[in-house]
A and B are shown apart, each in its own frame.
Chain A
Amino acid sequence: MSGGRRWLYAGSLAALLLLLLVPLGVQNAYYLEVLFRIFIFAALGLAWNLVGGYAGQLSLGHVAYFGVGAYAFTLLTLDLGWNPWLGVAGGVGFSLVAALVIGSITFRLRGPYFTLATIATAEILRLLVLNLQDFTRGAIGISTPPLFPGPSADRAFYLAAVLLAAVAYAFNLWADRSRFGYYLMAIREDEDTAMAVGVNPARTKLLALLPSAAITSLAGSLYASSFHYIQADYIFSIDISNQAAIVAMLGGAGTALGPVLGSVILTTASELFKEVFQTAHLLIYGILIILVVLFLPGGVIGFFGRRSRRRAQREPGPFAGSLSGEEGSPRHSSSSST
């Protein structure tokens, strides 16, 4: 193991310990909630990064697993009387099945076609959940069960989000230094070359989607419970797909640190400017992603960390797909926003 790598591991571990100690000092519910969101979106970005960053498959439909996680957890707990944590696990199960189905369909497609197909599958799920009223309460929405009953729920949610982000981060670090991660990067670069070293691209992409969907599902369950209420239009909103992608691309897609950095920047900024811009944040996201694609193709990490060799792909191809998706997003999601 190289020296730099050792420092990265040691530093990451130290950072994790510090983050776990934060609730001892920060009791303010508002700050804890912002921190919770930072790490939920870091987890989402890191999960997305396995597919969108390392493997270069620009998904803008990851909200599918987020929403399935949120709804499965809620319905299994409320309607079938499962223990809430069993409900969370059930959500992961459903998300894995969804990933297998969605992955086998969408991974046949390349570039913008793949991106559009991921958006479409997530939209189909949103409409299904909206219309299967007998199961899901439809547009009325549904109150979610508490995962952490009691007065210290804020702290517990924060800690759960940090741990989830840590697990997702560990997956990314592993991708940096494993056969599987190398195979993903080979696929991103060129599927023909990947096949020439013995990689089955379809299978490998699907294998990357599984942990990605599982983590996204866990984030969805946590988010649902912390928010006390879910409704299909915002829990399956394309905003969440976009945010997972933007967080990763802003920080540096295809790097482990990138999505964490991206989430810290984006979540903090959107919190600071919330009052100023109100619902214009959708427009801001659109402009932001165009700026990142044009001027920061490797994200913040790629810009500052010249030595970081795991920069995102610079090819305009896959990002062109995201551009068009982003420009369209404000129109798609008029009904979103919390």
Chain B
Amino acid sequence: MTKRFGGLVATHDVSFTVERGEVVFIIGPNGAGKTTLFNLITGYLRPDAGVIRFRGLPIQGLPPYRITAMGVGRTFQIPKPLAHLSVVENVMLGAFLRAGTYAEAERRALEVLERLEMRELARVEAGSLPVASLKRLEVARALATGAELLLLDEVVAGLSPAEADAFVGILRRLPEMGVTAVGGVEHIMRVVVSIADRVIVLDHGTRLAAGRPEEVVRDPAVVEAYLGTKFARREEAP
């Protein structure tokens, strides 16, 4: 798919497929087009060219809430909880999509919190959470919608190395829950390389490389354009 903002081509002919049950990372530095890509898939932006299919059905041009209802969940780069509601009430917001009653939504929400190991935060006011928990809350809310495909923008930004590891670890467990995960990260990190089924490297809106992480890391184009200049940062990253 291709998306232009005026003269700027934010994504240029980017094309990829994600299989059910995979964990895939989109890797690209600031401004590479990760968020644009997620916005295209979830209907927040319309592609200028290209086709987007989910379970074989074309979804480009559908409004975001329809795409959510079809089973595509997402988180936002900047978490936006309902600050004055509790954690479980925020997750219920997602659960209501498939729950008929208030009680059922609450039960589903608590289940999701349990699975994400944040049950003890259920009654905490969402506005008082630290960034790491907020990110997890975003995942919980998206999971509660019954999503089969989860797009997680900027999964490590603002997290400490330990928190980043824990968060990426959650993504690793999503396939067991029947959920396919696509995460966006800025750098090639060890933990990403170790758990990803596949990675896709974006640079200035174009797909630079894609494949199994070990292969991509050795891809000359990636080493040249991305790792070459950022090697020091890669070493710093967890």
Tell me whether A198 and B145 are in contact (CB under 8 A).
yes
| Known contacts A178-B102, A179-B105, A182-B93, A200 near B80 by CB under 8 Å | no
Set of chain B residues within 8 Å of A196, measured between Cβ atoms: 42, 64, 68, 73-74, 76, 141-142, 145
Tell me whether B145 and A182 are in contact (CB under 8 A).
no
Set of chain B residues within 8 Å of A195, measured between Cβ atoms: 43-44, 63-65, 68
The chain A residue with its CB closest to the CB of B102 is A177
Interface membership of B33, Cβ < 8 A: no
Tell me whether B96 and A179 are in contact (CB under 8 A).
yes
| Contacts between chains A and B (CB distance < 8 A), count | 65
Tier of interface size on chain B: 20 to 34
Interface membership of B197, Cβ < 8 A: no
The minimal Cβ–Cβ distance linking A261 to chain B, given in whole angstroms, is 18
Task: Pick from A192, A197, A201: contact of B96, CB below 8 A.
Answer: A197
| Known contacts A189-B82, A190-B80, A192-B44, A197 near B102 by CB under 8 Å | no
The minimal Cβ–Cβ distance linking A326 to chain B, given in whole angstroms, is 25
Interface membership of B97, Cβ < 8 A: yes
- Dominant secondary structure of chain A at its interface with chain B: helix
Tell me whether B68 and A197 are in contact (CB under 8 A).
yes
Task: Pick from B65, B85, B102, B105: contact of A198, CB below 8 A.
Answer: B65
A290 CA to B105 CA in the complex, in Å? Answer: 39
Interface membership of B165, Cβ < 8 A: no
The minimal Cβ–Cβ distance linking B73 to chain A, given in whole angstroms, is 7
Most chain A CB within a 10 A radius of its CB, from B64, B68, B89: B64
Tell me whether A198 and B97 are in contact (CB under 8 A).
yes
Tell me whether A198 and B74 are in contact (CB under 8 A).
no
A199 CA to B95 CA in the complex, in Å? Answer: 12
The chain A residue with its CB closest to the CB of B82 is A189
The minimal Cβ–Cβ distance linking B40 to chain A, given in whole angstroms, is 14
Set of chain B residues within 8 Å of A193, measured between Cβ atoms: 76, 80
Interface membership of A183, Cβ < 8 A: yes
A190 CA to B83 CA in the complex, in Å? Answer: 11
> Residues on A close to B: CB < 8 A?
177-179, 182-183, 185-186, 189-190, 192-201, 309-311
Question: Given contacts A190-B80, A196-B145, A197-B97, could you give 7 more A-B pairs where the C-beta distance is less than 8 Å?
Answer: A179-B99, A183-B93, A185-B85, A189-B83, A192-B64, A196-B68, A199-B65
Closest 3 CB pairs of A and B: A195-B64, A179-B96, A198-B97
> Residues on B close to A: CB < 8 A?
42-44, 63-65, 68-69, 73-74, 76, 80-86, 89, 92-94, 96-97, 99, 102, 105, 125, 141-142, 145
